[in-house]
A and B are shown apart, each in its own frame.
Chain A
Amino acid sequence: MKGLTHFISGIAVATFFPQAVHMASQEQSFIFCLGGIFGILPDTLDFKFARYFHTSDFEIKPDPDNLDAHQIASIVAQSLEKANASGRSSVQLHTMQLGANLWRSYTLGFDSKTSEVVVDIGPLVDTGQTPFMGTEPKEKASARVKVNCRFFQEFDKKSNIAIMSGPCFEFIRRGEGNVEIVFLPWHRTWSHSATLGILIALVVGVISYFTVPEGLHADMYAIPRWLLYPLIIFFGSLVHIIEDSTGFMGNNLFYPFTADRTKGLGFMSAAEAVPNFFFVWTSIICMLYNLDRFRWAPELTPAGIPNPESFFFWFYALPCAVMLYLFLRGKNQKEARKSVKAEGNESDFDGPTSVEKETDASII
């Protein structure tokens, strides 16, 4: 999901605590921001830290002056075969920067039907990924290299490697002669685990227990004030993991007790518009409802939502029905496109989940 989706969901979770709402409106506390910050934290940890400390067995740095698609495909195939032999292997693909605003693009695909690694060298692009037409290389621009094992992956999509840093793949042997392709192996592992959430909440809980005094009207609340901080942090990060689990990539929920990422539920793709907006809208509705029902001195201040039933009908049920319609329509259209490709016995390189293979970190 998009960073904003996680961020706003974290805030929405925090508004379920009446004491937090009172702290914000009466004591000018920024406690809700804590929910947002820890809501986006798992991705922050991955894309700002973890990615830099992952090392791969193979690195591919294509030479822009001597472009050779076969060479690239061969190294990827080598890594796949090493995984088949030894259990695991990984490969890091690098981009080709030719100038401050000029890059050479190429794509990498895995054709599971023919057990081939497919590489196509594309046109020059600028940093906005706008291609310069007619700049595709004339020779050695495409290659297919066969590997001696079968492989499978959650997504059937060509990775476009163009700007900034390139993607990384891990290959893991699953049974005899069968290799799983894992996209961005450093992503959604320890950072996206309930274990980390619990650990951070424990540390914060200990600190807040000794430093946060009980506020005014403590008898009004079921939860002591010091406990609010770890709970908001924990639920903020947990809602991130739950949202990510609805996609395809999944999480490593109980790291280090579990070794690998588990598959997601596959309901939707992380970068699709409707699911992202659904979570954002749900969060906004929850926030508004909670801020209103937990307002300070409700007997003295008028309600912003005088009729909750009508509020939920007009502003939640109705938009959700529209979103469901759009989501199902989009899904059906993609399925139709997929079946046309299947009839033509083509590899589905543009499957519905393809967007998760972006090399641009901000969209994952």
Chain B
Amino acid sequence: MDILEILMHPQNLDLAYFCLLGVLGSCLISFLPALHIYNVIGIFLLVILKYENAMEAMQLVALSTGMIVGYSILNTVPATYFGPGDESLSYYVLPSAQWVALGRGYESVILTGIGALTGMIVLALCAPIFIWILPGLKTITSPHMFWILGAVIAYMILSEWPKGIAQSKSNWANFFEGWGFLSVGIITFILSSLLGFIVMSKTMVPLGFAFQSITPVFVGLFALPWLITNIINVGIIPPQHEAKSLDLEWEVISKATFGGFLGGFYAAFIPIVTAGIGGLMAGHATAQRDTRVFIMSYGACKTVYYVGSFLLFFIPGLSLTRGGLAWIVTPFVTSLTLKEYAIFVGLMLFSTGVSFLLLTPFTKMCIRLVEIIDYHLLSVIAFFIVVPAVYAYTGGGGLAIMTVATGIGLLPVLFQARRMNLMAVLLFPVTVSMAGYGDTVLRFLGLL
């Protein structure tokens, strides 16, 4: 009842207003082509923080909650039709692109939305349990985080299987064909790791925008290769069918929610691990086979990852800061009690409901846009927005990093390797640094 009292108290209704504002803002942000969520929110908050004196800490939290929940649910729409902005999205886009090609893009988006909705409900239900279990989990895993990340890297590399049709008479020719694909993945991993070490040791962007130093890397690795592919793609988006209803069994919903929640929570709890990696591992752990389950579980995974990492910040006594948004609000939130945690969970559910209601009109609007304007043209426009934006915020240095990153990002796209290997840009340098070998590697590379 205490929680209800807190939520229904007129004093707290302003939080609902800011939360709603955040969700509506996320609609706009979701449409900004091919940019990583935290970079966009970072810039957005820079503008908002001019009104810092007029806003209380919890109002900022409400605004951020609305934005992160709205973004994590609504960004599926432009990602499906125009291309993904980060690794977490690119994991989903490949299967969803197949549905778009079959005229079922709308269905795919709604399935993802249902997954996000159920994922958030489970996250809210687990919120009280987290207070009980997470301190113990943190105590156990904290000294071991570096090798857990090392294990993630090892699995990412080892679990990529050879492709190719193996129809040559020569066994060796078949072997080299299969390993050609694997080699691209391994080369992508190595190059991304090197880029990560360079970016982390040598700041090439203006100091005033140091918080955006990773932006050109992500734009280059994930966003631009996708836009370039869209531009040179000869295919067309077929007419999209707007399904009136969805045929979903409870078994599919529960399987997808369970797998997605597992992956999202794993990604939220373990630093650097994204929803794409978490989703892959949870998908393997629960042996997912059905495409519907995959798409829905992706919705749950991505939302639980983005929002869950923010939720961890509010658990009283846990002191766990995960994800860019938690770091952004850290200076403004000084006390964290059960009250703030309960308010956050309430705001999270409120934003989820609003975002889900917005999903259908948002998707229909996107479909109209694709019907009216050629998506090649949209991709060209997006390209010419992104590149100058990166230059404006990060200067010539940022542009140089972006160009190199684009070259690396194109490798898996052109040679059908896993795009997940690009995440080595953060995974490998951070793992090595956490294990205490960072300086040794930097010295070896001549960067220190």
Q: Would you call A165 an interface residue if the criterion is a C-beta within 8 Å of the partner chain's C-beta atoms?
A: yes
Q: How far is the CA of A274 from the CA of B304 in the complex (A)?
A: 22
B151 touches A32 (CB 8 A): yes
Chain A 14-62 residues near chain B, CB threshold 8 A: 24-25, 28-33, 36-37, 40, 44, 47-49, 51-53, 55, 61
Question: What is the minimal beta-carbon distance from A32 to any residue of chain B, in angstroms?
Answer: 5
Chain B minimum-CB-distance residue to A21: B144
A165 touches B166 (CB 8 A): yes
B98 touches A30 (CB 8 A): no
Q: Please give, as numbers and ranges, the residues of chain A lying within 8 Å of B437 by CB-CB distance.
A: 28
Which segment of B156-164, B314-322, B391-399 sits at the interface?
Answer: B156-164
Identify the A interface with B (CB < 8 A): 2-5, 7-8, 11, 24-25, 28-33, 36-37, 40, 44, 47-49, 51-53, 55, 61, 94-95, 97, 126, 128, 130, 164-165, 271-273, 276-277, 280, 288, 291-292, 295-296, 301-306, 355, 361-363
Identify the B interface with A (CB < 8 A): 94-95, 98, 101-102, 136-141, 143-144, 146-147, 150-151, 154-155, 158-159, 161-167, 171-172, 174-175, 178-179, 182, 255, 281, 284-289, 291, 435-437
B151 touches A33 (CB 8 A): yes
Given contact pairs A7-B151, A128-B98, A355-B289, enumerate 14 new A-B contacts (beta carbons under 8 Å): A2-B285, A5-B285, A25-B143, A32-B151, A40-B155, A48-B162, A48-B179, A52-B175, A126-B98, A164-B163, A273-B255, A276-B284, A295-B140, A304-B138
Q: Please give, as numbers and ranges, the residues of chain B lying within 8 Å of A130 by CB-CB distance.
A: 98, 101-102, 291
Question: What is the minimal beta-carbon distance from A36 to any residue of chain B, in angstroms?
Answer: 5
A-B contact pairs, 19 of them (CB 8 A): A7-B155, A24-B143, A25-B144, A28-B146, A29-B147, A30-B146, A37-B154, A40-B159, A44-B158, A49-B175, A94-B167, A95-B167, A128-B94, A128-B291, A165-B164, A273-B286, A276-B284, A276-B287, A304-B137
Q: How far is the CA of A29 from the CA of B144 in the complex (A)?
A: 10
Q: How far is the CA of A28 from the CA of B155 in the complex (A)?
A: 19
Chain A minimum-CB-distance residue to B129: A314
Q: How far is the CA of A7 from the CA of B280 in the complex (A)?
A: 14
Q: Please give, as numbers and ranges, the residues of chain A lying within 8 Å of B175 by CB-CB distance.
A: 49, 52-53
Question: What is the minimal beta-carbon distance from B184 to any residue of chain A, in angstroms?
Answer: 14
Q: Do A4 and B159 form a contact, CB below 8 Å, given A52-B178, A130-B98, A304-B136?
A: yes
Chain A minimum-CB-distance residue to B255: A273
B171 touches A128 (CB 8 A): no
Q: Please give, as numbers and ranges, the residues of chain B lying within 8 Å of A128 by CB-CB distance.
A: 94-95, 98, 291
B287 touches A52 (CB 8 A): no
A30 touches B255 (CB 8 A): no
Q: How far is the CA of A61 from the CA of B289 in the complex (A)?
A: 28
Q: How far is the CA of A263 from the CA of B255 in the complex (A)?
A: 30
Question: What is the minimal beta-carbon distance from A308 to any residue of chain B, in angstroms?
Answer: 11
Question: What is the minimal beta-carbon distance from A101 to any residue of chain B, in angstroms?
Answer: 9
Q: How far is the CA of A42 from the CA of B146 in the complex (A)?
A: 26
Chain A, interface SS category: helix
B165 touches A4 (CB 8 A): no
Q: How far is the CA of A53 from the CA of B178 in the complex (A)?
A: 12
Q: How far is the CA of A206 from the CA of B278 in the complex (A)?
A: 38
A30 touches B435 (CB 8 A): yes
Q: Do A47 and B161 form a contact, CB below 8 Å, given A11-B151, A24-B147, A291-B140?
A: yes
Chain B minimum-CB-distance residue to A133: B102
Question: What is the minimal beta-carbon distance from A249 to any residue of chain B, in angstroms?
Answer: 16
Chain A minimum-CB-distance residue to B101: A126
Q: How far is the CA of A36 from the CA of B166 in the complex (A)?
A: 29
Q: How far is the CA of A303 from the CA of B288 in the complex (A)?
A: 35
Q: Which of A52, A126, A277, A296 contacts B171 (CB 8 A)?
A: A52
A48 touches B178 (CB 8 A): yes
B436 touches A28 (CB 8 A): yes
B285 touches A276 (CB 8 A): yes
Q: Please give, as numbers and ranges, the residues of chain A lying within 8 Å of B284 by CB-CB distance.
A: 2-5, 276
Question: What is the minimal beta-carbon distance from A322 to any residue of chain B, in angstroms?
Answer: 11
Q: How far is the CA of A39 from the CA of B141 in the complex (A)?
A: 21
Q: Please give, as numbers and ranges, the residues of chain B lying within 8 Å of A47 by CB-CB distance.
A: 161-162
Q: Please give, as numbers and ranges, the residues of chain B lying within 8 Å of A53 by CB-CB distance.
A: 171, 175
B158 touches A304 (CB 8 A): no
Q: Please give, as numbers and ranges, the residues of chain A lying within 8 Å of B171 by CB-CB distance.
A: 52-53, 55
Q: Do A30 and B150 form a contact, CB below 8 Å, given A53-B175, A126-B101, A128-B95?
A: yes
**Residue from the set A48, A95, A271 with the largest chain B CB neighbour count within 10 Å:** A48
Q: How far is the CA of A36 from the CA of B147 in the complex (A)?
A: 11
Q: How far is the CA of A238 from the CA of B98 in the complex (A)?
A: 40
Q: Please give, as numbers and ranges, the residues of chain A lying within 8 Å of B140 by CB-CB distance.
A: 288, 291-292, 295, 304-305
B158 touches A37 (CB 8 A): yes
Q: Please give, as numbers and ranges, the residues of chain B lying within 8 Å of A4 by CB-CB distance.
A: 155, 159, 281, 284-285
Q: Please give, as numbers and ranges, the residues of chain A lying within 8 Å of B165 by CB-CB distance.
A: 94-95, 97, 164-165
Question: What is the minimal beta-carbon distance from A362 to any residue of chain B, in angstroms?
Answer: 5
B139 touches A304 (CB 8 A): yes
B161 touches A361 (CB 8 A): yes
A272 touches B161 (CB 8 A): no
Q: How far is the CA of A95 from the CA of B164 in the complex (A)?
A: 10
Question: What is the minimal beta-carbon distance from A307 to any residue of chain B, in angstroms?
Answer: 10
Q: Please give, as numbers and ranges, the residues of chain A lying within 8 Å of B94 by CB-CB distance.
A: 128
Q: Please give, as numbers and ranges, the residues of chain B lying within 8 Å of A302 by CB-CB distance.
A: 139
Question: What is the minimal beta-carbon distance from A294 to any residue of chain B, in angstroms?
Answer: 11
Question: What is the minimal beta-carbon distance from A69 to any residue of chain B, in angstroms?
Answer: 20
Q: How far is the CA of A101 from the CA of B285 in the complex (A)?
A: 28
Question: What is the minimal beta-carbon distance from B63 to any residue of chain A, in angstroms?
Answer: 35
Q: How far is the CA of A37 from the CA of B147 in the complex (A)?
A: 13
Q: Please give, as numbers and ranges, the residues of chain A lying within 8 Å of B287 by CB-CB distance.
A: 2, 271-273, 276-277, 363
Question: What is the minimal beta-carbon distance from A102 to any residue of chain B, in angstroms?
Answer: 11
Q: Please give, as numbers and ranges, the residues of chain B lying within 8 Å of A44 by CB-CB distance.
A: 158
A24 touches B144 (CB 8 A): yes
B167 touches A61 (CB 8 A): yes
Q: How far is the CA of A2 from the CA of B289 in the complex (A)?
A: 12
Question: What is the minimal beta-carbon distance from B398 to any residue of chain A, in angstroms?
Answer: 33
Q: Please give, as numbers and ranges, the residues of chain B lying within 8 Å of A31 by CB-CB distance.
A: 147
A40 touches B95 (CB 8 A): no
Q: Please give, as numbers and ranges, the residues of chain B lying within 8 Å of A301 by CB-CB distance.
A: 139
Q: How far is the CA of A29 from the CA of B163 in the complex (A)?
A: 33
Q: Do A52 and B166 form a contact, CB below 8 Å, given A273-B286, A362-B161?
A: yes
